[in-house]
C-alpha cells in the first residue's frame, strides 16, 4: 500500500465549478499535512497546510480526518489558472522532517 494515495484524475471541470480532491495516508503517527500545487515541469509550491480543525484560504478549503486518515481539498469557483496537479503531502513519523508526496491529482479547468 502506498504511504499517500490520491486519485490521479484528471478532473475536467468548467470554470466556476466546485471540485474536491481526496487523499488517504497510511501512517497514523503522521502529524503534518499539506497540499502542494505543481505546474507542468515546475517545482511544487505550497498551497496550504492542513489543520485538524479544517482551514480555509480564499476559494480553497482543506479538511483533515485523523480517525479515517483522510485529507481533502475543496476548490470553489474554479479558475482557468487552477489547472495544475495537486499533491497531497504528509510527514513521516520520525523526527527527520521528511515529507511523503502523493502521486498527485490532475485538474483541468476549461473555459
Partner 1 sequence: GAVVSQHPSWVICKSGTSVKIECRSLDFQATTMFWYRQFPKQSLMLMATSNEGSKATYEQGVEKDKFLINHASLTLSTLTVTSAHPEDSSFYICSARAWGSSYEQYFGPGTRLTVT
**Contact criterion met (CB below 8 Å) for 15 and 80:** yes
Of 44 and 84, nearer to partner 1 (C-beta) is: 44
For residue 93, the minimal CB distance to partner 1 (Å) is: 12
For residue 92, the minimal CB distance to partner 1 (Å) is: 9
With a CB cutoff of 8 Å and minimum separation 6, the contacts of 69 are 24, 25, 26, 28
Q: How many helices (H) and strands (E) does the chain have?
A: 0, 11
Of 18 and 52, nearer to partner 1 (C-beta) is: 52
What is the grid cell recorded at 69? 486518515
Contacting positions for partner 1 (CB under 8 A): 31-32, 34, 41-46, 49, 87, 91, 96-104
For residue 85, the minimal CB distance to partner 1 (Å) is: 9
Amino acid at each position: 500500500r502506498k504511504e499517500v494515495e490520491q486519485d490521479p484524475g484528471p478532473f475536467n471541470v468548467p470554470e466556476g465549478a466546485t471540485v474536491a480532491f481526496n487523499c488517504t495516508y497510511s501512517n497514523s503517527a503522521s502529524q503534518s499535512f499539506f497540499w502542494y500545487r505543481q505546474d507542468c515541469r515546475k517545482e511544487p509550491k505550497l498551497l496550504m497546510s492542513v489543520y485538524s480543525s479544517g482551514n480555509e484560504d480564499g476559494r480553497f478549503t482543506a479538511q483533515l480526518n485523523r480517525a479515517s486518515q483522510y485529507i481533502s481539498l475543496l476548490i470553489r469557483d474554479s479558475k482557468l489558472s487552477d489547472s495544475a496537479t495537486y499533491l497531497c503531502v504528509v510527514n513521516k513519523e520520525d523526527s527527520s522532517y521528511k515529507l511523503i508526496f502523493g502521486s498527485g491529482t490532475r485538474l483541468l479547468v476549461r473555459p
